[in-house]
Amino acid sequence: MNQSLLILDAFSLSPGEPAARALAGVLESADAGRLPRFAQWLGLDEAEFWRMLEQCFPGARAAGWAPESAPVDAAALPCEFPDLVDMLIASGDASRPAMRWAAHALASGCFGGSHLWQDMGLSGRHDVSRLLQEYFPALYAANTAEMKWKKFFYHELCRRLDLHPCPEPSCAACDNYVACHGAETVAVLWR
């Protein structure tokens, strides 16, 4: 059933909250075909997906909201997906109940061809930053060079896994590739 973000968002337990916005945005983007098929389930197994939907968007399933595709087996997920999720969770704030699901939303968003915020159905980079600041504060603080988030995730993942050369995220076809993958702005700290 093709549902819009507004319909799913109407069931949100916490409208406007960063994780709820990210989850609804990724599910809407995946439903619209802007993200790979596995993103319709956030890379979660079926039972955990329905648990997430019921806890974050109560009543949506009863009203007929469901992914259009069948769940994807974990073995069919992109090879770096579990590593991205694990990296996010390791830097996450465990006191935030939706942190694990937000990690899956962020990792799913990395497989779109546009800016991460666009692929996640958000209104700007500031929305991704706010989500990271609230749910993944250690990872947020580690981006001292102000890299674009998708690029930063891959660079951080490669650093942690000691992978060289580092695969770039799926954004080579983007019109802004040069701007995002050029030199980063380095923050100057005044003492």
Q: Between the CA of residue 119 and those of 23, 134, 149, 160, 189, what are the distances in Å?
A: 11, 20, 12, 25, 32
The string of DSSP codes covering 56-67 is: HSTTTTTTT---
pLDDT at residue 61, as a whole number: 94
Per-residue confidence (pLDDT) for residue 10, from 0 to 100: 86
pLDDT of residue 163: 78
Half-sphere exposure (Cβ direction) of 78: Cα atoms closer than 13 Å? 21
Cα(69)–Cα(144) distance, rounded to whole angstroms? 39
pLDDT at 3: 42
User: Can you give the pLDDT at residue 188?
Assistant: 32
Residue 53 φ/ψ, nearest 5 degrees: -60, -45
DSSP assigned state of 171: -
Instruction: Please confirm whether the linkage preceding 165 is cis (ω < 30° from 0).
Output: yes
**Which pTM does this prediction carry?**
0.85
How many residues can be counted in the chain? 191
162 Ramachandran zone, left/alpha/beta (phi>0; psi -120 to 50):
left
Residues with pLDDT less than 50, the chain: 1-4, 171, 173-174, 176-181, 184-191
Residue 167's pLDDT is what?
A: 66
pLDDT at residue 169 in the model: 64
Write a three-state SS string for 89-148.
Answer: HHCCCCCCCCHHHHHHHHHHHCCCCCCHHHHCCCCCHHHHHHHHHHHCHHHHHHCCCCCC
For 87-108, what is each residue's pLDDT tens digit?
999 999 999 989 999 999 999 9
Please report the pLDDT score of residue 85 as a whole number.
97
